[in-house]
Structures are given as structure tokens and as C-alpha cells.
């Protein structure tokens, strides 16, 4: 694995609060989702990677080098922060222009870069308006644009979808996927699971400062193979369907609704087989059935409930 | 509106490797330069230079032409004379406005960035804490100099050019006044700028920064006054930073005028200079510690 970002026993604490605890990960190039609830340690991880925080213990390396005060590394990193960070009275163009200058560009090159970045986030129309007049979505676009200014090799997007309308979200999804396809490393932080699923299949699940899992979503899903799975069957006669399914010993529990039957099974494949047989018999109409906990949310909930002791 | 091509072009130019503080300086100057309040204050600050400009032109015209209608009047008024004392008084009288304008431009220099959470963005760029601090400080010092030293230079140039007997060699005679003005401007502007930057790095808002600086000046001078009244064994007025700055200016321009001291004999010039320097060092240290703390995370 060509690790772009590598951490070894990385820990960061603020007084008695442990923000990140003993994190050892290797992040390859491409889009990687940094997933966890609010306060999990995602932003701390990103700030450590950017050299904004000094690790309390362990180390973090970007392309094999420590990022802190390393201009060579900082020049190839892009950062879109979670919170608003603006000089309100200036225009979007000017704000980005100075940030481009901070990145080390000469005035002419800086203007060119700003134009390109604003174009990429579709903010050219309003680029000369003061930032104070921008909507939440526009501010978010400006933040993304500033992270793209210097064409970074490694990009950290901290909750970039916050406040974006559906069209803008779609554009940003495409942008992130495009950047990944260009060979850049994009660390996409979010607490919304389906957002991450849209852009990548490689995730780092982080909770309470610890890494719960790292890898492909499917591989992580396999972790819950032995966990009872939930299947929802849509039918007009849920009780009759259950009677036919009762021969399946893998079913651990059921819930009835007027139109739905929810079953928890230890072997979903076997249960699916039984449902198929009922459909083929054609005695009871079944309109649809699906596995309700195949998504990342369920994996996440499962990992939190089983891997982390209660009270942490 | 500029039209850019729809492809994202990677940069092929060159990065700036040195003098990154220059960008911080330029951004800061650009930021306060656009403010109407600053422009009004700056115009007020330019009133005295304009008055001095007219004074120099009139004086040189009258002094060189005995038939000038204003010659008798100008010769009879002593304070209109153009000499090194003019530059001392010019810089001295600019001091209140310098304080006011520097408070306006410097109070938010650092605390506004912290309030707007800009430190995270700035320090994620290839920029050191000292580039940041130096840029901020120099922008405030530059603003101070643009009201003191730079107009003084223009006044000297006006004086030189309006003298009919001016020669290139005559320019050399201005060097002592130039160095005196530079030193006095520096002694005036630098402690104020450093104090404001230090306060801005400590406090959370511009208002608190301004209040703290004004309070500090009043408290410092009041303390010096109290010490002078109660302790008769020395000239404690020199503990006041404004008084120390004023007196250093007098000394630089070789003017002996006793305003603040009982006698001029027991004044420790070196001590006063060291007092100003130590205040500057203290303010600088506070700023460094605060900005370093922000950069450390």
C-alpha cells in the first residue's frame, strides 16, 4: 500500500480530554472517508496532519515526513476547515487571493489560481461580492476553493457538505471523486455516512478518539457477519408470511406491522432463500424485501456497540 | 468578469521562498486602507504636515526675499522658524493621532484573526509564526511612520528645494535631522505598535484591546505622577512611557525644556532609553508567546 499519510500511536490530548488515542493508520492515495460522530476526533486528526497541532504522543508523517513547520509538505496540503474562517469585509476573490499569496504565489499567478479555483466551485459570478453577503452554501464553496488554490496533492476536507444545497452537494461529490481519480489523496471527513459512501469505498471509522476500523466498506461489513441481520418484508399479510418462515431456525426475532414484517436472522442468505420460496409458491403476495442494515450506518452502530465498552 | 478556461491548470510558476512576511504586511495594509474611518483619521493626521508644508514654503520665501509682503510678520514670529525644533514639534504633535490611528489599525490585527479562526488557515499554509507576527507588526509600524517619519522626510525635502541656495552638498546637512527624526519616530511608534500588537494577541476583541492600551497608558503615567509626588529623592516621572518617549525626543533633537522634571540634572537618559527598550522587549515577548501558542496548537 502506498501510504500517503501514516500515523504511529498518534495521540493528542487537551488537558484531561483525550481527543485522539493511539491511532496507527496508513492512508493510501485516493479518496478516504474519515467517518465518526461529532467529537470523535476527526478534526483533531486533520489538524495533526496539517501540523496545526503537535502530537501529545506518537507521530504522523505525510509522504514520510513530519508536516509540522515543513514548508515542503505544507505546500502540497490543502485544507477545507469545518468552521467558517473568513475575513468578512473582503470579497471572495480577494480572500482567496491573499491565501494564494500565503501559499507562496506571485501576484499574477495567485490571481490565475484564484480564478481557476472559483470556477471549479462555480463561484465566479459572485466572486467580487463581500463574503459577509454570501449564503452558507457560498461560504462553503469559498472554503473548498481555498483548499484547491495551490492544486494540493493531499486534500483534507473537514465536513465539506455542511450547508450545501443538493445541487452543490452533487457538484462537490463529483469534484471529490474527480480529484481522487486524478491520483490525489482526499481525506473526506463527515459524520453523515451516506455522504462518505457517495465518494469512496475506503473509510476510517473513528469514535471517541479511537480508530474502530479501516478499510473497504465491504470488508468492514463482513465484520458483522455473525451479527443478526434485519430483513424487512413488505406484504399485506405479515403474520402468514411469518408462519411460513417459522421453519427457519436462523430467525431470532420478528416484528409485525400492518404492511411490514421485520425479521432478525443469523443467516440472511438462508432467510432470503425461504422468502424466495414463498414468492415462487405465489400463495401470499410479497411486494418487496430488503436487508435493512446493509448500509454503513448499521456497520457503524454495530462497531460502536460491540467494540467500545459502554461509558467511554 | 474574467473568463477562465474550464480546465484546472496545475501551477507552473515559482513559489515565493523568502520574505513571506511581506504578504502578511501587504494584506494588512490593504485591509485597513479600505476603511473609511481610517481614511478620515489619516486625513486628520495629514493636516499638520500640510500646515508645516505651508509654513516651510512661507518661511523660506520670506527669509530669502526681504521684499516679500509677509517678511516682517514671519521674522517677528519665533515659532514659525524652520530648524530642527520644527521636526521635533511636528513628530511630538502627531503623537496623539498616531496613537489613535495605530489603535484603529492594530487593535484587530491579531485578535480579529483569532475571532475569525483564521489562524488555522494561515498556519496550514507554508508560513511561519514569525512571518505572521513580523508582517502584522511592520504594517502597524509603517502606518505610524506614514504619519511621522515619512511626512518629516517630505518636509525636509520641501525645505531643501525651496531654498534658493540649495546645492547637492547641502543635502548632507539634513542627515542629522533625518537620523534624529527617524530615531524619535521609532521611539514613538515602535512601543505603541508593539503594545497594541501584544494586547491584540492577548485579548479577544478590538474594543478590549483599545481599552486595555488606554488604561495602561493612563495607569502608567498616573503611577509615575504619584511616585514623583510622594518620593522626593528622584525623578520618577521617567517611569511614564509617554514622558520617557517625549524626553528621549527632546534629547535627540538637543532641546532643553523642562516640563516634567523638577531639575534636568538627575535624569538618567540611559535608564530612560533602557526603560523604553525593555517595554518594547516585554511587548514583543508577549506577542511571540501568544502567536507561538496559536501556531503550536
Interchain pair B16, A83: CB under 8 A = no
pLDDT (tens digit, 9 = 90+) per residue, A248-263? 888 888 888 888 899 8
Q: How far apart are CA B92 and CA B202, in angstroms?
A: 29
Within 10 Å of residue A222's Cβ, how many Cβ atoms? 12
Interchain pair A150, B9: CB under 8 A = no
pLDDT at site B6: 40
Asked if pLDDT for residue A183 goes beyond 90, the answer is no
User: Which string of b and e fits A93-107 if b means at least 16 CB within 10 Å?
Assistant: bbbbbbbbbbbbbee
pLDDT (tens digit, 9 = 90+) per residue, B169-191? 778 888 999 999 999 999 999 99
The grid coordinates of residue A184 equal 490525489
- DSSP assignment of B139-177 equals HHHHHHHTTTHHHHHHHHHHHHHH-TT--TGGGGGGHHH
pLDDT (tens digit, 9 = 90+) per residue, A140-173? 899 999 999 888 999 999 988 887 788 888 888 8
What is the total residue count of chain B? Answer: 297
pLDDT at site A118: 92
Q: How far apart are CA A82 and CA A18, in angstroms?
A: 20
pLDDT at site B1: 30
Interchain pair A119, B20: CB under 8 A = no
pLDDT (tens digit, 9 = 90+) per residue, B215-274? 999 999 898 888 877 876 666 777 889 988 988 898 888 887 766 665 556 667 888 899
- Taking contacts as CB-CB distances below 8 angstroms, the residues of chain A near B23 are 98, 101-102
Q: How far apart are CA A196 and CA A205, in angstroms?
A: 11
Greatest alpha-carbon pair distance for chain B in Å reads 79
Per-residue H/E/C for A62-105: ECCECCCCCHHHHCCEEEECCCCCCCCCCEHHHHHHHHHHHCCC
Higher pLDDT, A269 or A71: A71
Q: How far apart are CA A6 and CA A4, in angstroms?
A: 7
**ipTM, 2 decimals?**
0.81
pLDDT at site A162: 81
pLDDT at site A191: 82
pLDDT at site A267: 80
pTM of the model: 0.81
Return the residue of A nearest to B24 by Cα: A102
Asked if pLDDT for residue B4 goes beyond 60, the answer is no
Interchain pair A69, B128: CB under 8 A = yes
Q: How far apart are CA B247 and CA A59, in angstroms?
A: 54
Return the residue of A nearest to B31 by Cα: A90
pLDDT (tens digit, 9 = 90+) per residue, B30-58? 988 888 999 999 999 999 999 999 999 98
- Give me the residue from A102, A112, A125 closest to B23, CB to CB: A102
Label the pairing between strands A26-28 and A154-158.
unpaired
Assign B7 a pLDDT band (cuts: 50, 70, 90).
very low
To the nearest whole number, what is the mean pLDDT of chain B? Answer: 86
Asked if pLDDT for residue A48 goes beyond 50, the answer is yes
- Give me the residue from A71, A125, A128 closest to B126, CB to CB: A71
Interchain pair A102, B4: CB under 8 A = no
- Give me the residue from B13, B27, B116 closest to A86, CB to CB: B116
Asked if pLDDT for residue A300 goes beyond 80, the answer is no
- Taking contacts as CB-CB distances below 8 angstroms, the residues of chain B near A150 are 11
pLDDT (tens digit, 9 = 90+) per residue, B127-157? 889 999 999 999 999 999 999 999 999 999 9
Q: Which helix (H) or strand (E) holds A143?
A: helix A136-148
Classify the phi-psi angles of B128: left when phi > 0, otherwise alpha if psi is within -120 to 50, otherwise beta.
beta
Strand ranges, E, within chain A: 3-14, 17-23, 26-28, 30-35, 57-62, 77-80, 154-158, 185-190, 202-207, 210-216, 229-235, 251-256, 260-265, 286-291
Assign A270 a pLDDT band (cuts: 50, 70, 90).
confident
- Give me the residue from A52, A83, A128 closest to B124, CB to CB: A52
Average of per-residue pLDDT across B192-221:
94
Q: How far apart are CA A179 and CA A175, in angstroms?
A: 6
Nearest CA-CA partner of B252 in B67, B88, B51, B41:
B88
Classify the phi-psi angles of A15: left when phi > 0, otherwise alpha if psi is within -120 to 50, otherwise beta.
left
To the nearest whole number, what is the mean pLDDT of chain A? Answer: 85
Q: How far apart are CA B130 and CA B136, in angstroms?
A: 10
Lowest mean pLDDT among A122-126, B149-153, B274-278: A122-126
Amino acid at each position: 500500500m502506498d501510504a500517503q499519510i501514516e500515523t504511529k500511536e498518534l495521540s493528542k490530548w487537551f488537558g484531561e480530554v483525550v481527543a485522539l488515542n493511539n491511532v496507527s493508520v496508513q492512508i493510501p492515495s485516493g479518496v478516504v472517508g474519515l467517518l465518526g460522530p461529532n467529537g470523535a476526533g476527526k478534526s483533531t486528526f486533520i489538524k495533526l496532519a496539517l501540523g496545526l497541532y503537535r502530537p501529545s504522543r506518537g507521530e504522523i508523517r505525510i509522504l514520510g515526513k513530519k508536516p509540522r513547520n515543513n514548508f515542503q509538505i505544507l505546500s502540497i496540503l490543502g485544507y477545507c476547515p469545518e468552521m467558517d474562517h473568513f475575513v468578512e469585509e473582503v470579497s471572495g476573490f480577494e480572500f482567496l487571493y491573499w491565501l494564494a499569496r500565503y501559499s507562496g504565489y506571485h501576484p499574477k499567478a495567485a490571481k490565475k489560481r484564484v480564478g481557476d479555483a472559483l470556477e471549479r466551485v462555480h463561484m465566479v459570478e459572485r466572486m467580487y461580492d463581500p463574503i459577509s453577503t454570501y449564503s452558507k452554501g457560498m461560504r462553503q464553496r469559498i472554503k473548498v476553493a481555498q483548499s484547491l488554490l495551490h492544486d494540493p496533492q493531499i486534500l483534507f476536507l473537514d465536513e465539506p457538505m455542511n450547508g450545501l444545497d443538493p445541487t452543490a452537494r452533487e457538484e462537490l461529490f463529483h469534484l471529490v471523486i474527480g480529484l481522487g481519480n486524478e491520483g490525489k489523496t482526499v481525506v473526506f471527513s463527515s459524520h453523515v455516512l451516506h455522504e462518505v459512501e457517495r465518494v469512496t469505498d475506503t473509510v476510517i471509522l473513528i469514535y471517541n478518539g479511537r480508530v474502530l476500523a479501516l478499510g473497504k466498506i465491504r470488508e468492514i461489513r463482513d465484520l458483522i457477519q455473525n451479527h443478526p441481520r434485519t430483513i424487512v418484508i413488505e406484504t399485506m399479510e405479515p403474520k402468514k408470511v411469518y408462519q411460513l418462515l417459522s421453519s427457519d431456525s436462523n430467525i431470532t426475532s420478528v416484528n409485525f406491522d400492518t404492511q411490514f414484517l421485520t425479521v432478525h436472522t443469523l443467516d440472511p442468505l438462508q432467510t432470503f432463500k425461504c422468502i424466495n420460496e414463498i414468492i415462487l409458491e405465489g400463495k401470499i403476495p410479497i411486494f418487496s424485501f430488503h436487508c435493512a442494515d446493509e448500509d454503513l450506518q448499521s456497520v457503524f452502530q454495530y462497531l460502536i456497540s460491540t467494540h467500545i465498552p459502554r461509558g467511554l | 468578469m474574467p473568463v477562465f478556461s474550464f480546465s484546472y491548470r496545475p501551477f507552473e510558476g515559482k513559489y515565493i521562498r523568502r520574505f513571506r512576511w511581506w504578504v502578511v504586511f501587504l494584506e494588512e495594509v490593504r485591509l485597513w486602507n479600505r476603511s473609511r474611518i481610517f481614511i478620515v483619521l489619516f486625513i486628520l493626521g495629514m493636516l499638520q504636515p500640510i500646515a508645516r508644508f505651508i509654513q516651510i514654503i512661507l518661511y523660506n520665501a520670506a527669509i530669502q526675499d526681504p521684499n516679500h509682503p509677509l517678511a516682517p510678520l514671519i521674522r517677528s514670529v519665533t515659532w514659525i522658524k524652520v530648524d530642527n525644533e520644527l521636526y521635533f514639534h511636528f513628530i511630538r504633535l502627531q503623537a496623539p493621532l498616531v496613537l489613535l490611528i495605530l489603535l484603529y489599525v492594530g487593535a484587530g490585527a491579531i485578535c480579529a484573526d483569532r475571532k475569525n479562526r483564521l489562524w488555522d488557515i494561515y498556519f496550514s499554509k507554508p508560513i511561519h509564526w514569525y512571518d505572521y507576527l513580523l508582517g502584522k507588526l511592520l504594517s502597524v509600524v509603517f502606518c505610524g511612520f506614514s504619519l511621522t517619519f515619512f511626512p518629516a522626510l517630505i518636509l525636509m525635502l520641501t525645505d531643501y528645494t525651496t531654498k534658493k541656495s540649495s546645492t547637492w552638498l547641502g543635502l548632507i546637512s539634513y542627515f542629522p535631522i533625518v537620523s534624529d527624526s527617524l530615531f524619535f519616530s521609532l521611539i514613538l511608534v515602535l512601543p505603541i505598535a508593539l503594545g497594541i500588537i501584544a494586547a491584540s494577541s492577548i485579548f479577544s476583541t478590538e474594543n478590549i484591546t483599545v481599552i486595555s492600551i488606554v488604561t495602561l497608558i493612563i495607569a502608567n503615567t498616573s503611577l509615575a505622577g504619584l511616585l514623583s509626588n510622594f518620593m522626593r529623592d528622584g525623578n520618577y516621572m521617567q517611569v511614564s512611557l509617554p514622558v520617557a518617549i517625549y524626553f528621549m525626543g527632546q534629547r535627540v533633537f538637543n532641546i532643553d525644556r523642562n516640563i516634567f522634571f523638577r531639575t534636568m540634572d538627575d535624569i538618567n537618559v540611559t535608564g530612560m532609553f533602557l526603560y523604553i527598550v525593555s517595554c518594547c522587549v516585554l511587548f514583543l515577548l508577549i506577542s511571540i508567546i501568544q502567536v507561538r501558542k496559536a501556531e503550536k496548537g
